Amino acid sequence: MMLERRERIRVVLMEDHDSIARAVAGRIATVIRERNGQGFQAVLGLATGSTPIGVYRELIRLHREEGLDFSRVVTFNLDAYYPMNRNSPHSYVRFMWENLFEALEIPRENVHFLDGSVPRDEMERHCQWYEEAIREAGGMDFLLLGIGRSGHIGFNEPGTPRESRTHLVFLDSITRADAASEFFGEDNVPLEAITMGIATIMDAREIALLALGEHKAAIIRRAVEGGIHPDVAATYVQNHPNATVYVDPPAGADLTRVATPWVLGEVEWTPRLETEAVIWLSQQVGQSILRLSTKDYRDNRLSSLLARYGSAGPLNGEVFNRLISKIRGKSKLPTGRRILVFSPHPDDDVISMGGILRKLVENENHVTVAYQTSGNIAVFDHDVRRYLDFLERGESVLGARSDGVREKVAEIRRVLARKVPGDVDIPDVQAIKRVIRETEAVSALENVGLGVERARFLNLPFYQTGKVRKDPISEADTEILLRTLEDVEPELVFAAGDLSDPHGTHRMCLEAIRQALQAHTGPPPEVWLYRGAWQEWTVAEATILVPLSEAELRQKILAIFKHQSQKDKAPFPGPDEREFWQRTEDRNRETADLLARLGLPAYYAIEAYVVEQDGQLLENPLVSTSSLGGEG
């Protein structure tokens, strides 16, 4: 499919996070080998955060398994919070050593960081030193960038001039809100940061900008299709002679060639693309599907689609019937089957599929809910104190006085009083937080008609770091899931398909499920993917649409309310400021409202699901599966 592109920079749209990691790490490896082969050190500029983690893990694999040598590699980190002690759990120095450098045998003297502990009156001199160190190293051969929702690269916030060099900057409110989960609250996020400037970034001989997740979709479109403007620092990269933007399908969803490719030229029509085009046209002209006219198609660059059907009527009817066939009320849902619901955290099940859960129970299915992680880091310390207080006050009522318990409670109170935001909890506190999440999950299940015996708390090892950063999925994680599959022998499996959660836990949980399903020797179950906490399937994407009445949606929200530790203000809300119950209510209502505008039956709310086929989340003909992707 050859399309005109509106992108002003080379954009590679790849199938998933891992594909991007392999491609970018492979390019870095090539740069290292080429520069070393020429007798020079390879100089890398490196970013932090969740986006480049996959790249760093792949570089470690290349070092361990393919002998990629880092002894003649020099690195410069892109930015640093200010003020920030390098030993802080939030320090980028600590981040880089824990996630990359410790495994690479790289000389310590070759690693350079901006120092968040420099006195303010020495800041200008420190920034000049950093610039000089980069020049003395010969300049950066390769620079890895992420992008913020405000379009910042490094910490170059809106308004940063093109000629800026390494400098101290005040952080934008969007940037601080997005960093809140790392710091256990926005109030704990530093107000300032030190960053390479735009001119410093543009001096790099090669740039790779990475974006993952649907929350980056809007800014990616602005950064690569919009004009260059100081309000979106990433647009400056359009003028770089050797820059590539790597995006996964969610991050690339708003690109014109993905969202509305028919406006760019001839496309290869598929049923999915036809459905998307007709839905788009209906919204463009404000008419229901069955009222779209031949003129509507011709006036909106859809003549080639119209030609496939001869006139508007047959096309309208085809798409209308496709959509209405997706709708499944209770009578069309599974009955009397063994169903296993995997929930990444102890609330994702009711947030995303609380409506269908009740319907499945009422249809006399044997439903088991397996919570993959404890979710314990998402519990505030004040909740622990509240339960400790309950324990102390309840002793006299329960007749369970114990000096050992009192001593333990007192010890935990002392630990919490000394704790600094972001510190790793002691094992006892982690365990209490785990139990809090478990009791909430059981209460929520009772609200949808399931007893405690239907809950399984798997507590997968990859999550048990006590930190925001998790370990990679291991054989131990897969083995636990495999045993669960073998024990339940499900005919139908539900799993989370919303992969834009801030720290990648949903993505990792889905990865582990797929590995377990591949190793499972029993009959392969049907797999339904749900969304809700972080995003929702579109009507065109969805395979199945499940209507909910007003009472059913209210019951679902009441189940979400049972997760009291996540109510009012969750520790990790992500970029969406709404509470989880508000997100699910709005998304379910919006899906129903869209169907009504398209001329389909008017329901109160709708949950959406995708039936996975052959282990593939979605089929997208515009996604590249090669190491370098397409052209820009």
| pLDDT tens by residue, 5-14 | 799 999 999 9
Give the model's pLDDT for residue 630: 30
Closest alpha carbon to 210 in 143, 165, 156, 256: 143
In whole angstroms, give the CA distance from residue 216 to residue 188: 24
Q: For residue range 556-608, what is the model confidence (pLDDT) as tens digits? A: 999 999 999 998 876 666 667 788 899 999 999 999 999 999 999 999 999 99
Q: For residue range 136-146, list pLDDT tens digits in order.
A: 999 999 999 99
First to last CA, the chain: 14
The Cα 102–Cα 94 span in angstroms is 10
* pLDDT recorded at residue 1: 43
Is residue 186 predicted with pLDDT exceeding 60?
Answer: yes
Return the pLDDT at 450: 96
Q: Whose CA is closest to 592, among 539, 628, 632? A: 539
Q: Distance between CA 346 and CA 340 in Å, rounded?
A: 15
Confidence tier at 211 by pLDDT (50, 70, 90): very high
Judged against a pLDDT cut of 80, whether residue 456 lies above it is answered with yes
pLDDT of residue 532: 84
DSSP 8-state code for residue 110: G
Taking 50 as the threshold, does the pLDDT of residue 632 lie above it? no
What would the pLDDT profile of 386-415 be if each residue is shown by its tens digit? Answer: 999 998 888 778 776 677 788 889 999 999
C-alpha dist (Å) from residue 160 to 105, 122, 194, 237: 36, 22, 13, 13
* Catalytic center residues: 157
* Beta-sheet strand order (sheet of 338-343): 455-457, 366-371, 338-343, 492-496, 526-530, 605-611, 544-548
What's the mean per-residue pLDDT of the chain?
92
**Strands of the sheet with 243-247, listed across from one edge:** 10-13, 243-247, 207-211, 142-145, 42-46, 73-77, 111-112
Is it the case that residue 628 has pLDDT exceeding 70? no
Beta-strand pair 366-371/338-343: parallel
Digit-coded pLDDT (tens) for 55-89: 999 999 999 999 999 999 999 999 999 999 988 88
Best CA proximity match to 134, nearest among 63, 205, 238: 205
Count of CB atoms situated within 10 Å of the CB of 346? 30
The structure's pTM equals 0.85
Strand partners, 368: 340
3-state secondary structure of 338: strand
Q: pLDDT tens across 258-299, in order?
A: 999 999 988 999 999 999 999 999 999 999 999 999 999 999
pLDDT on residue 615: 52
The full DSSP string for 166-207 is: SEEEEPPHHHHHHHTTTTTSGGGS-SEEEE--HHHHHTSS-E
Q: How far is CA 316 from CA 113, 196, 261, 326, in A?
A: 59, 53, 20, 16
- Would you state the pLDDT for residue 128? 98
Q: What pLDDT is stored for residue 176 in this prediction?
A: 87
pLDDT exceeds cutoff 90 at 443: yes
Assign 468 a pLDDT band (cuts: 50, 70, 90): confident
Residue type, 444: A
Q: What is the pLDDT of residue 400?
A: 65
Q: Tokens standing for 235?
A: 């647009």
Residue 616 confidence class, pLDDT cut points 50, 70, 90: low
Point out the least confidently predicted range of 348-362, 421-435, 515-529: 421-435
Q: Residue 629: pLDDT band by 50, 70, 90 thresholds?
A: very low
Q: Is the pLDDT of residue 37 over 60?
A: yes
Give the pLDDT confidence score for residue 584 in this predicted structure: 94
**Share above pLDDT 90 across residues of the chain, in percent, rounded to a whole number:** 78
Per-residue pLDDT reduced to its tens digit, 105-114: 899 999 999 9
The alpha-helical segments, DSSP class H, found in 448-504 are: 475-488
Mean pLDDT, range 511-521, rounded to an integer: 95
Q: Are 588 and 606 in contact (CB under 8 A)?
A: yes
**Residue 349: band (very low, low, confident or very high) from pLDDT cuts 50, 70, 90:** very high
Residues 627, 27: Cα–Cα separation, whole Å: 9
Q: Which of 331, 342, 328, 433 is nearest to 380 (CA)?
A: 433
pLDDT, mean of residues 529-546: 92
Which pLDDT value is given to residue 571?
66
CA–CA separation, 392 and 402 (whole Å): 10
Cα–Cα distance for residue pair 6/227, rounded to 1 Å: 11
Radius of gyration of the chain (CA): 26
If pLDDT is split at 50, 70 and 90, which confidence band does 195 have?
Answer: very high
Predicted local confidence at residue 572, as pLDDT: 67
In this predicted structure, what is the pLDDT of residue 89?
A: 82
> What is the reported pLDDT for 502?
63
Percent of the chain with pLDDT over 70: 94
List, as one string, the DSSP characters of 289-307. Answer: GGG--HHHHHHTT-HHHHH
* Whole-number pLDDT of residue 617: 46
Q: Which domains does the chain have, with CATH numbers?
A: 13-256 (3.40.50.1360), 262-323 (no CATH), 330-376+434-611 (3.40.50.10320)
d(CA 265, CA 302): 10
Whose tokens are 């002392």? That residue is 414
Name the nearest CA neighbour of 574 among 149, 170, 54, 252: 149
3-state SS, residue 286:
coil
Region for 599 from its dihedrals, namely left if φ exceeds 0, alpha if ψ lies in -120 to 50, beta otherwise: left
